[in-house]
Amino acid sequence: MENLPIYISFLFALIVIGTISWFYFATKSKTFLFIAISWTILQSVLGLSGIYQDTQTIPPKLVLFGVFPTLVFIATAFLTVKGRKFIDSINLQTLTYFHSIRIPVEITLALLFYQGVVSVYMTFEGTNFDLFSGITAPIVGYLAFRTTGENKKFLLVWNIICLLLLLNVVITAIFAFPSPFQKLAFDQPNSAVLYFPFNLLPTVIVPMVLFGHLVAIRRLTKQN
């Protein structure tokens, strides 16, 4: 987006790198790292090509080529033996701390709102309460793992609450996205995600955050 201050794009690029790196530290999987980097490069190319700026198709191209494949990956991970083995190998404490990445994400969304390219609904001034997840992540990460075994119920409840907060943001984002399905924010829709690098929010960052909560919930309910 040509009219945006360069520091916002630079900040967001650092957040993407931080998201992938932090999740890698939780998985210690070079296969995951390769897939994540390859996917990010592909989405960067698509974002730069302008393909996502065509918002009148059903489903929108951002959903078809960016979001849907990540949901397929997540489903595959939970439905296959290799996928479940990978899930069960992820370090839960590192995964909990990982959600702190949502703090700079929320700051970026606020900056984008003030630039007029995302809806107020996507910020903590609107109906986005996801900042709670980012702020509490290091606290929960410390409290839940300060003994030899993690506090399963506490960690499970926190993951469920934060998952619901994430889903609230995702649903609101869909309705505020410039497409045939738009129901909110017609005066200032979520147009930033149609452009690189911000298209990496729904195609890279959000899927990893979603996957992180689902992994934790599976692990904690399985152990119980």
* Residue-wise DSSP of 110-122: HHHHHTTSS-GGG
Query: What burial class does residue 108 get, using C-beta atoms within 10 Å of its C-beta: 0-12 exposed, 13-18 middle, 19+ buried?
Result: buried
Give the model's confidence band at 11: pLDDT under 50 very low, under 70 low, under 90 confident, else very high: very high
Residue 148's pLDDT is what?
63
CB 197 within 8 A of CB 13: yes
What six digits make up the tokens of 197? 């690098």
pTM of the model: 0.94
Q: Average pLDDT, stretch 74-97?
A: 97
d(CA 60, CA 56): 7
For the cut 60, the answer to whether the pLDDT of residue 223 exceeds it is no
Instruction: Please determine, for residue 71, whether its predicted confidence score (pLDDT) is greater than 80.
Output: yes
Domain-wise residue ranges, the chain: 6-223
